[in-house]
Structure 1
Amino acid sequence: MSATALLALPYIAANQNQKHVTHNEALRMLDALVQLSVLDRDLTAPPDTPSDGARYIVADGATDAWAGWDGSVAAYQDGAWVEFVPLPGWLAWVSDESKLLCYDGADWVDFLSAGLGTALGNGSFDKIGVNASADATNRLALSSAASLFNHAGNGHQIKVNKAAGADTNSLLFQTNWSGRAEMGCAGNDDWSIKVSADGTSWLTALSIDSATGLLKGLNWVGDVVDGGLGAVIESGSNANGTYVRFADGLQICTSLVTSSDSTYVIWTYPAEFYGAAENVMMTARGLTPYHAQPNGSGSTATIAVNCWDLSGTRVETDITVFAIGRWK
């Protein structure tokens, strides 16, 4: 065997004359390849006035003295170009790009690309994967049982910025890569919490107005539901009056009723109660001292209304009526 297996450095043969020639040739090769740093990797032809010791990675389509040397390292030594064919794992620093390359057996590739993405300079990379594969969308990818963001001095902030109000900056919680909950500013600057059962249809559970700071969740005011997911407060009105209904079962009804000077009148509640109203209050309107009171406890839907003057005579007048009870 006349040369080393990897760099093909020549051996000095036994009883060889002029041993210094072989030795110097090996030193020349080591000088070219050890701590390999090339000036450029984009040239297809040798520069006109190369400096002694200049090295290049030859670009594809090489010509002139570099013809057929595509991908090889060309070194200018003692007035001539020498080709060095790279082996997998060789590292080379490209001076004009400030980038470290690695030969993978077919091409020179960015040394850090596999795990940290393309080096962009100033300590930044186009993507980073930590035990995960980053891509053009998920430029920072982490696969871990937990992650820690610790303070450096006092507090710590996590900042999620978006370009415009109509864009989204949020935290998305997924099950098997399908969205189930999201919180943040999605499509506007109001902070909201949304949930989904299938990753396609979303319900807003809570929203805070960015201009007022007030809650405006869809389930605060609306229809309350017995035994289901509904609003917290429901209100309404009809020909019988107005009502407010709460999710815990409380209901308040009010109206203006005109009494009769001959008999009681029936007030039909604007919303039915679960049972007879627990408290019914009546007040005659105006300055004349009248006495108004219900006639009995009433039903779930109605109650009788009476009104007398101080002598006990029925009178016709406007009466404000309130009924408080439970709707469930």
Structure 2
Amino acid sequence: MMDETPRWTLPLLAAGQAHKETTHNEALSLLDLVVQPCVEAVGLDTPPGDAQPGQAWIVGARPTGAWAGHAQALAGWTDGGWRFLVPRAGLSVWNHAAQCRSEWDGTAWHTGRVLARELIVDGKKVVGTQRPGILLPDGGQVIDSEARSALGLIVAALRDHGLIASG
């Protein structure tokens, strides 16, 4: 018989269990931590001394003190002390310090990275997969330095944004 959930290891009630409220409250505390999580910062190794109930952090790679043994975990302070959740691939948190999302890819936390196949704004695709490189104009019968300069700047901007490869 399973005594915890398979993904987030939330405690389950057992038939005939005494003090069911303890198990139930622990599960609710962990759910409060993982549902739409917001963390104060990512990668801290030392627990803050002034944590308030409801605040959370992503533990660093070499944790100390109360966080020892919980590297890379989601750590939340509750009235009952620290609660930890081992991240699963795809866990995304709002990183208050960086003002963007941080995501666990199954190996490491990444902050501010957006993985997508395309970007749609108001129903219109504005960014898609990278296209092959574009060669800059070279040679020809008529040399138009202003046009070449403008084309060069456009191609450079597209390369800087990663929309086309270097040619």
TM-score, normalisation: structure 2: 0.71
In structure 2, the residue matched to 1:74 is 75
- Residue 139 of structure 1 is matched in structure 2 by none
Q: Quick one: which amino acid aligns to residue 98 of structure 2?
A: E
Instruction: Describe the shift of the 1:209–1:49 C-alpha distance in structure 2 as closer, same or farther (beyond 3 A).
Output: closer
Gaps of 5+ in 2: 118-125, 147-167
Counterpart residue type for residue 36 of structure 1? P
Q: How far apart are 1:131 and its partner, in Å?
A: 1.9
Following superposition, the deviation at residue 129 of structure 1 comes to 6.0
Task: Show the counterpart of 2:143.
Answer: 207
Deviation at 1:63, TM superposition (A): 1.1
Q: Distance in 1 between matches of 2:145 and 2:46?
A: 65
- In structure 1, runs of 5+ residues without a counterpart are 117-127, 133-141, 144-176, 183-193, 195-202, 211-328
- Find the aligned partners of 1:81 and 1:209 in 2 and give their Cα distance: 65
Q: What is the CA-CA distance between 1:68 and the residue it aligns to?
A: 2.5
Residue 128 of structure 2 aligns with which residue? 130
Larger RCO (CA under 8 A, 6+ residues apart): 2
2:101 is matched with which residue?
A: 100
Question: How far did 1:79 drift?
Answer: 4.5
Query: Which letter maps to 1:108?
Result: W
Aligned residue runs from structure 1 range 32-181, under 5 A = 32-110=33-111, 112-115=113-116, 130-132=128-130, 142=131, 179=135
> Residue 42 of structure 2: SS of its match in structure 1?
coil
How many residue pairs get aligned? The number is 137
The amino acid that maps onto 1:207 is I
Residues 92 and 209 of structure 1: CA distance in aligned 2, closer, same or farther (over 3 Å):
closer
User: Which is helix-richer, 1 or 2?
Assistant: 2
Is 1:115–1:129's contact at 8 Å kept on the other side of the alignment? no
Tell me how far 1:8 sits from its aligned partner.
1.2
Residue 207 of structure 1: how far off its partner (Å): 2.8
Find the aligned partners of 1:205 and 1:98 in 2 and give their Cα distance: 52
**Per-residue deviation at 1:76?**
0.9
Aligned-pair CA distance for 1:57 = 0.2
Structure number with higher strand proportion = 1
C-alpha deviation, 1:65, in angstroms: 1.2
Give TM-score scaled by structure 1 length. 0.38
Contact 2:30–2:83, Cα closer than 8 Å, also in 1: no
Q: Percent identity?
A: 30
Q: Which structure has the larger Rg over C-alpha atoms?
A: 1
- In 2, the alpha carbon distance for the partners of 1:114 and 1:51 equals 33
- Cα deviation per residue 1:17-72 (whole Å; 9 max; x = unaligned)? 22222111111111111111100113210111111121000112211111222211
**By how many angstroms is 1:204 displaced?**
4.1
